Amino acid sequence: MNRCLTDLVHLLDLEPLEVNLFRGQSRDLGGKSVFGGQVISQALVAAARTVDAVLPHSLHAYFLRPGDMEAPIVYEVDRVRDGRSFTTRRVQAIQHGQPILSLIASFQREESGFEHQMPMPEVPAPETLTGQQALRERWLADEVARNPGMPERFRTAFLREQAFEFMHVNPLNPFQPEAREPRQAFWFRAAGRLPDDPLLHRCVLAYASDFNLVTTALLPYKRTWFSQDMVVASIDHALWFHRDVRVDDWLLYSMDSPSAQSVRGMTRGLIHDRSGRLVASTAQEGLMREITPRS
């Protein structure tokens, strides 16, 4: 494991405070608030800590307020239902006395039944693609040549080590965005070997599932998270686990945005493992509000 992946695993090991109460810490990934995938994955961990011997099969979450990276997050679990097949938990993530995320998760005992899936898109293998870190170094060097006054803090954040490796099928330079169809695909995997714990792999996948969804809805408009004339944020997030998964093996995340309207963009995602098995699906709506930059 690299240092960031080790840190992520530590972040997911929540501190128990009382029955149904847990506390987690945050990390600065270079944004203005806590990364949404972190709050989702920690809330899923909190829910799972109140369930015996079953794995999550779905979660649905609303982002209510930006998270403060300097303050701990308290997770309060409501044991909504314990059934013979399905178990349901509701989790509130709380900071400064207010909820920043509300999540409901469903757990299911293993059963066999009918089975089918969408095929994996045909894309180049990850070994044939250029890694995101190398691309970012190249893009940043070009941008600094054009804009020598770029703050050092931004340069450091842009090249920050990550807990995942990424190989984009059709990379997009965030400093020079071009109008594209609202669809993209990339390979990703944890930057190191993870323990053989199925729950941990699902929680780490929940963390990674928040990457690039809103970005996909922005593609037709030549905008990115770095655009100064945009307010961009996740509004809600849904994730379904279909099959067992190892997040330390290559996974293909393909996504498309079928609609944008009323300053909201909708994106869907499919996650396949390298053998072609569909292991998870996602859906997210994001805020895409154009603003007038301050002079």
Q: Please say if 95 is a catalytic residue.
A: no
Which listed residue (38, 209, 227, 284) is catalytic? 284
Which listed residue (106, 210, 227, 254) is catalytic? 210
Residue 254 Cα distances to 163, 186, 218, 267, angstroms: 20, 7, 15, 10
| Distance (Å, whole) CA 83 – CA 203 | 22
Q: Please say if 234 is a catalytic residue.
A: yes
Q: Please choose, from the candidates 78, 28, 73, 86, the residue with its C-alpha nearest in 3D space to the C-alpha of residue 50.
A: 78
Q: Please say if 209 is a catalytic residue.
A: no
Which listed residue (26, 132, 234, 281) is catalytic? 234
**Phi (first) and psi of residue 216, to 5 degrees:** -65, -40
Residues carrying an active site annotation: 210, 234, 284
